[in-house]
Structure 1
Amino acid sequence: MIWRSWDLNLKVRLLGELITHTFFWMYFPFIALYFSDTFGKDVAGLLLTVPPLLGIFSNLAGGYLADRIGRKKTMLISISTSSVMFGLFAFSPSPWIDYLAFIGIGMAGSMFWPASSAMVADLTTEEDRRVVFATFYTAMNIGVVLGPVLGSIFFVHYRFELLLVCTIVEFLYGIAIFFLIKETLPALTGKREASAAPPARFSLREQFRNYAIIFKDKPFAIYILAGVLVAIAFMQLDLYMALYVKENVHSQPLVWWGNWSFSIGGTSAFGWLMGLNGLLVVLFTLPVTHWFQSWSDRNSLILSSTLYGFGFFLMAFTSNIWLLFGCMFVLTLGELIRTPVVQSFISKYAPEDARGQYMGASSLQFSLGRFIAPLAIGLSQWMAPIGIFSIILGISLLSALLYVYMFRLIPQKKNADQRS
């Protein structure tokens, strides 16, 4: 699908999310350091466990609202909230207000994504969906690469000015959504219209009842479980892998010429590995998506889980930086294959009248995975690296097996739905 042929909604949001993501990553990587310096490491560690948990509820609420009041209205609520929270953060007189503003920004962002993903699905055909999602993922990762570099200057030395600009950027993006983006919530008819009609007012009971129905969908529940396992494995990029590289990859030449050499090791080696990951994501998301366009969702998800597992597992056998670069290439390839497939699969699998809620529920994979993944750090006190990396491999292969089982169940579910 050529960019020029995209709907205006998609063009506006691609540009807006590229800009807002860049500014988000100018402050987000430094929040842990900021709160650690302000509250102390122990208190900051506890405080930073709260936003992921609240994000779970925001994701679900965002999906519910996207299917009830519309994609556009949900995104406007999210953007308006984040704009206010950035302003509160900028003018905050207290570190505790800073923390509350940070929570508000995170919850607003979590509410935004189910509606955003559902709108992409509404506006694209099944054949083009992977490419469009991959393009949005590339834009997001351009922000991930550029943001921390700029933030290392602006957040440290010009925090107030940076947060004020973030406030203005979010506000302008909200104006663009209000005037340029049209609602894409599918029109419903007949029995579906009666069953999916929005309640007179927002109802938590109605929301939880709808999500309870979704999670009784057995293939989807298995899909979520497999995704949680993948997320636990992938999150080790920032967790156990960072610890392993710091403790085991000692200073060594990266490049050399005659008597001259450039050496890296420990924390600097981890930075280079993560930089390679970001660069590969930006450069190869779209090419890899095109290369695997003819692959089925089933085979793509199974392959990506397998590549994750072996990419991490092979790290246990080397401390050579170039071999670690090779391992990073393997697991990043798994990431590039998986990401557009996950989003396009849900948009195909979910009923049109519940697409936003399925998107919101799907985001639980990352939220729950991020909550469980730090256990690997604790296990590392009792196990050797080969043991931890073996667990990561086992978790990844188990997720691949769950995907095999899930795709066997889907035809059975479709037949049962048709009979009912």
Structure 2
Amino acid sequence: MNMRQIHPLTLGVLFGTFFARLSTFFVMPFFAIYLATLGFSASVIGTVFAVSAMSGLFMSFFGGTLSDRHGRKQLMLIGIGLNALTFTGFALATELVWFYVFSVLMGVSRSFLEPASRALISDTTKPEQRVIVYNVRYFLINIAAAIGPLLAVVLSLTGAKSAFFVVTGVYVFYGLVISGLFKKYPFEESDGIKVRPRLTETFRVLKEDKTFRFVIIGMIFAIIGYSQFNSTLPQFIAFHDGFSDGSRLFAYLLTVNAITVLVVQYPIMKFGIRVSPIKSLFFGVATLSIGLLLIGFATETWVLFVAMVIFTIGEVLMFTMTDVLTDELAPEHLRGTYFGAMGLTALGQSVGPIIGGLLLDGFNNAGLPVFAILSIVTAFGAFFFMGALTERKASLALIEEKAG
């Protein structure tokens, strides 16, 4: 597959996503520090992040369905516009209430833009090429995450108001480019625009599609485990007597994570295609759990590095196949609804750090009980993925029986 085989709108989404995420990583890793310089306490800063997560979680019920009802272009442009407004607001805000307001907007914009853009990729890409395109998207996001914070340091943008305006400028440019591409390369919207699914369609999908419901619940448990990477793990390292210079060590672990993603993504993608996306998720959450458990046994630095490689392999096994599986399960006229409903897995991102923090406090930063419990909680996801696999096989058998 070469670039010429990719629809211009999909290329626009891929590169737009890359530059938007790259610029966002100029800001978000340092956003808590920026808020602290304005005099807000750590607990208040935590609520600012929580408000964004919860608003995005709530809007997951509607954002994808709206793109099925009104079209990808409208929802993408609204999401891009809200993102531009959000980061401008962050730059100008000085009072807490405005940070809450713009955090809510950030969650809403994400729930509009993400499902619409991923559904657009499905709409404009041949089925046999979607797994590659989705993995290119995942690869670009990881590259942005790896180099964005470093670029911010090099360009002296960390904690600077100008960084927010850079993000705004990138989103405005992204909006202009994608709008121009829609005008130059019009395409037939999916049948969902004609069917106009109800705003409550997500609830119906979760009720009736047992396979998808099992996948959502399994991913919530998986993301509870994955969320420890940026929350519980750095705290554990920083306050563990056996590790010196925790900040530097965690930076090295971030590098190991990024390098491992880049090295293993392609072979894992091929593995996921061969065994099926649901099995890939099952193996992913199992591997993630093993990585978490090994962190609990770590008393020397090299054990942490081995654990991080295993943890990252689990991450890649899951996230390379998530969009592929969602596309496979979604009827053509409900792609946006399905991609939007996947946003419900953000519940794991919301509660995971809370669970990890409570365990660290409860066990006084003792690694083994903390990460053993987190490993067990994460492993619950495997049971739901097994349920999803069973339901999927049953539904496919029923389809074959009817066809026969």
**Structure 1 residues 58 and 151: CA distance shift in structure 2, 3 A:** farther
Q: CA deviation at 1:183?
A: 5.6
Matched to 1:86, the amino acid is: F
**Structure 1 residues 316 and 413: CA distance shift in structure 2, 3 A:** same
Matched residue, 2:305: 325
Alpha carbons 1:224, 1:362 under 8 Å: kept: yes
Q: Distance in 2 between matches of 1:232 and 1:96?
A: 29
Q: Distance in 2 between matches of 1:98 and 1:150?
A: 25
> How do 1:1-12 residues align onto structure 2 when only pairs under 5 Å count?
1-12=1-12
Matched residue, 2:347: 368
Q: Distance in 2 between matches of 1:155 and 1:98?
A: 20
Matched residue, 2:22: 22
Matched residue, 1:237: 229
Could you list the per-position Cα deviations for residues 255-284 of structure 1 after superposition, in whole angstroms to 9, with x for gaps in the alignment? xxxxxxxxx542221221122112322444
1:32 aligned onto 2:12: no
Matched residue, 1:349: 329
Q: Percent identity?
A: 25
**Structure 1 residues 89 and 402: CA distance shift in structure 2, 3 A:** closer
Q: Distance in 2 between matches of 1:132 and 1:277?
A: 22
Matched residue, 1:339: 319
Matched residue, 2:384: 402
Matched to 1:166, the amino acid is: V
Alpha carbons 1:119, 1:184 under 8 Å: kept: no
Alpha carbons 1:242, 1:270 under 8 Å: kept: yes
The counterpart of 2:210, out of the listed 211, 218, 237, is: 218
Matched to 1:389, the amino acid is: F
Could you list the per-position Cα deviations for residues 190-230 of structure 1 after superposition, in whole angstroms to 9, with x for gaps in the alignment? xx887x236xxxxxxx412x122111122221111101000
Q: Distance in 2 between matches of 1:92 and 1:45?
A: 17
Alpha carbons 2:71, 2:193 under 8 Å: kept: no
The counterpart of 1:358, out of the listed 335, 338, 350, is: 338
Relative to the length of structure 2, the TM-score reads 0.90
Q: Distance in 1 between matches of 2:229 and 2:336?
A: 29
Matched to 1:411, the amino acid is: K
SS in 1 for 2:128: coil
Structure showing greater Rg: 1
For the aligned residues, what is the CA RMSD? 2.4
**Structure 1 residues 294 and 127: CA distance shift in structure 2, 3 A:** farther
Matched to 1:171, the amino acid is: V
**Structure 1 residues 100 and 155: CA distance shift in structure 2, 3 A:** farther
**Structure 1 residues 239 and 160: CA distance shift in structure 2, 3 A:** closer
Q: CA deviation at 1:140?
A: 0.8
Q: Distance in 2 between matches of 1:298 and 1:166?
A: 36
Matched residue, 1:135: 136
Matched residue, 2:370: 388
Alpha carbons 2:91, 2:161 under 8 Å: kept: yes
Matched residue, 2:196: 197
Matched residue, 1:304: 284
The more displaced of 119-128 and 348-357 is: 119-128
Matched residue, 1:164: 165
Matched to 1:112, the amino acid is: L
Q: Distance in 2 between matches of 1:220 and 1:98?
A: 35
SS in 2 for 1:155: coil
Q: Which runs of 5+ in 1 are unaligned?
A: 199-205, 252-263
Alpha carbons 2:21, 2:141 under 8 Å: kept: yes
The more displaced of 407-416 and 240-249 is: 407-416
Alpha carbons 1:249, 1:321 under 8 Å: kept: no
The counterpart of 1:154, out of the listed 153, 156, 165, is: 156
Matched residue, 2:73: 72
SS in 2 for 1:319: coil
Could you list the per-position Cα deviations for residues 351-370 of structure 1 after superposition, in whole angstroms to 9, with x for gaps in the alignment? 111110011101211x1001
> How do 1:106-121 residues align onto structure 2 when only pairs under 5 Å count?
106-121=107-122
SS in 1 for 2:24: helix
Q: CA deviation at 1:238?
A: 1.3
Matched to 2:199, the amino acid is: Q
SS in 1 for 2:361: coil
Alpha carbons 1:249, 1:269 under 8 Å: kept: no
The counterpart of 1:246, out of the listed 225, 238, 244, is: 238
Q: CA deviation at 1:93?
A: 5.7
How many residues are matched? 394
Q: Which runs of 5+ in 2 are unaligned?
A: none
Alpha carbons 1:380, 1:388 under 8 Å: kept: yes
Alpha carbons 2:68, 2:196 under 8 Å: kept: no
Q: Distance in 2 between matches of 1:2 and 1:290?
A: 17
